[in-house]
Structure 1
């Protein structure tokens, strides 16, 4: 089961949920190296066609799978259970254009593993160690049935955060609260130190939850469960229009159930 917290600004993140490892939102080491995703690999990004017939936007199989290789629904970012996140259009934010780009293991493992090895992140996600540790965590989702999808958060063309978008109503979390059909949960980890502590987390949480609500008509709410001790994470959710719903006793932590309702999104 994927992590649960979505801290977005300073310090540390969440404690892991049972069965998946980590659970909060966090930020990585002080290293400034960035992994740039070529524009042609970001759905919806401008491209320069070589011929008039070249499509301006590559298909998920072209972008996220090697030619001729079998591409699972989740690996291609076209999970039917999540209404095909790979096709979601970018969102405009005050900090630039933001997009969720489904993870491709060969392209993204090194940078995600580096983020997971930040001591502050590792305290909550518990995925520090060799790249194989992170790879196993990612594969469990990529090779699954599509109920959870790992994504890079790309801001103005640069990967700077890691996300997991998952069906909360189909997750073990559903045993701990009154789940509704099509509830969506999110986990967030902010990767680079220069993106922390400036309100970026709250801004991205709002953008990501808007993407979910805009593209999933059957979803009435987006939720997360940061560790109650993670004050920055809870504050980021509140700043993003989520409301505190309840304290939830999970196997590995006492969590704040944070909910953003579709019916109130314009007011919060």
Structure 2
């Protein structure tokens, strides 16, 4: 995952950034600008950590040299990750979805095919200000490979709108992510990060439109997931506005290691009301 925000460090959570980056083939925006939305500053989250996250913390402690009583110091991997369970319900099989802007398909990243365009987007100053992944391709490649070669708790995808690559997405298990240390995570909480790559798609409500469609898809494909979360930088007002327009509610401000974030939540139970 990218860093908790504008800067990206391994092991932290990146901001969900709706800044757009320069991209060849940017299309004329096909939807009207989004209107504003209200925000709810209250939350009623359960104050406990999921068993899966506790197991992951135990694994990390063992890796750092701590031992369990009666062992030789070699940790047993958490059972969840040892079973080969798909942690995100086969994102690659979700298929295209219809949106007011066209047909959107989240296609898992392939380094050899997608590194060039993702690198170009990440090196746009407007994007770099929040993602912090600007620089040589090998640094961006390392970020992508860390997810592609991991246990499946995060899946980086290219967003294809009517067959044209125009956005970068990360779908991830928020309850198994370092983000869960900073809010009352529930089992199967799922997070989303979005980067709109085409400069022509900026400022016309496209981010909110695509977010709403993708989150509906996530809730359809992940029946165990009760809510979708995101944590944009509180200063990134276009991003926060896009989440509000996509049916998210503002929950609370969270101090993450490299930013102050707005924790945004979209509840399954409120799906047809917001």
TM-score scaled to structure 2, two decimals? Answer: 0.75
Shift of 1:29: 3.9
> 1:191 aligns to what?
197
> 2:267 aligns to what?
261
Q: What is the aligned length? A: 217
> 1:98 aligns to what?
104
> 1:19 aligns to what?
11
Larger radius of gyration: 2
Unaligned runs of 5+ in 2: 27-83
Matches within 5 A, 1:46-61: none
The secondary structure found in structure 1 opposite 2:144 is: helix
Partner Cα separation in structure 2 for residue 235 and residue 21 of structure 1 = 20
Partner Cα separation in structure 2 for residue 80 and residue 95 of structure 1 = 30
Q: Does 1:162 align with 2:168?
A: yes
Q: Is the 8 A contact 1:209 1:222 kept in 2?
A: yes
The secondary structure found in structure 2 opposite 1:162 is: strand
Q: Is the 8 A contact 1:184 1:223 kept in 2?
A: yes
RMSD: 1.9
> 2:2 aligns to what?
2
* Larger RCO of the pair (alpha carbons < 8 Å, separation 6+): 2
Q: Is the 8 A contact 1:176 1:248 kept in 2?
A: yes
TM-score scaled to structure 1, two decimals? Answer: 0.76
Q: Is the 8 A contact 2:21 2:196 kept in 1?
A: no
The secondary structure found in structure 2 opposite 1:255 is: strand
Q: Does 1:247 align with 2:253?
A: yes
Unaligned runs of 5+ in 1: 6-13, 35-77
Partner Cα separation in structure 2 for residue 157 and residue 4 of structure 1 = 30
Q: Does 1:121 align with 2:127?
A: yes
Matches within 5 A, 1:138-217: 138-217=144-223
Q: Is the 8 A contact 1:15 1:227 kept in 2?
A: no
- Pair 1:236–1:15, CA change in 2 (3 A): farther
Q: Is the 8 A contact 1:22 1:127 kept in 2?
A: no
Q: Does 1:233 align with 2:239?
A: yes
